[in-house]
Amino acid sequence: MPTIHVTDRSGAKQTIDGKVGQTVMEILRDKNIDVEAICGGCCSCATCHVFVDDAWAAKLPARSEDEQELVEETESYKAANSRLSCQIKFTPQLDGLSLTVALSE
Ligand code: FES
């Protein structure tokens, strides 16, 4: 099973199984990791904000215009690393993805 390495808001690190076909937000939420995902994945709340590690950031598909606009408005926005986890579809190629959950806004 492909995995995701997650650092949560408390700084605790864990490795979780990633289900191919789900979004990263769904995987985090199903493991009770602290993403609120208030909008349910509609790209309208930014409460699923994560920072993807440098090594992985360039391997992800580019942000859509909607994701870009929303994530830029977050206080902790990092141009190179910020992603909305509901907009990242988990694939076998993302095995080992490493990310940190952003503090809630
Ligand atoms: S869950 Fe709302 S933007 Fe991702």
pLDDT of residue 8: 96
Ligand 1 centroid from CA 96, angstroms: 22
Res. 74 pLDDT band, cuts 50 70 90: very high
Distances in whole angstroms, Cα of residue 75 to Cα of each of 16, 47, 49, 96, 104: 27, 12, 11, 27, 9
- Judge contact between 3 and 15, C-beta under 8 A: yes
Which residue segment(s) compose the domain that 76 sits in? 3-101
- Residue whose CB lies within 8 A of the most ligand 1 atoms, among 23, 33, 42, 68, for a mutation test: 42
Counting ligand 1 atoms within 8 A of each CB, the residue from 23, 24, 43, 64 with the most, and so the one to mutate, is: 43
The model's pLDDT over 18-61, given as tens digits with 9 standing for 90+, comes to 999 999 999 999 999 989 999 999 999 999 999 999 999 999 99
pLDDT confidence band for 104 (50 / 70 / 90) = confident
Q: Does pLDDT of 105 surpass 70?
A: no
| Ligand 1 atom with the shortest distance to the CA of 85 | 4
Tell me the pLDDT of the chain averaged across its residues.
Answer: 96
- Here the CATH number for the domain that contains residue 12 is 3.10.20.30
How many domains does the structure of the chain reveal? 1
Reduce the DSSP state of residue 92 to 3 states and report it.
helix
Query: Looking at ligand 1, which atom is closest to the CA of residue 35?
Result: 1
Please indicate, yes or no, whether the overall pTM of this predicted structure exceeds 0.85. yes
Query: From the centroid of its chain, how far is CA 27?
Result: 9
Taking the centre of ligand 1 as the mean of its atom positions, its distance from the CA of residue 46, in whole angstroms, is: 5
Cα–Cα distance for residue pair 36/39, rounded to 1 Å: 9
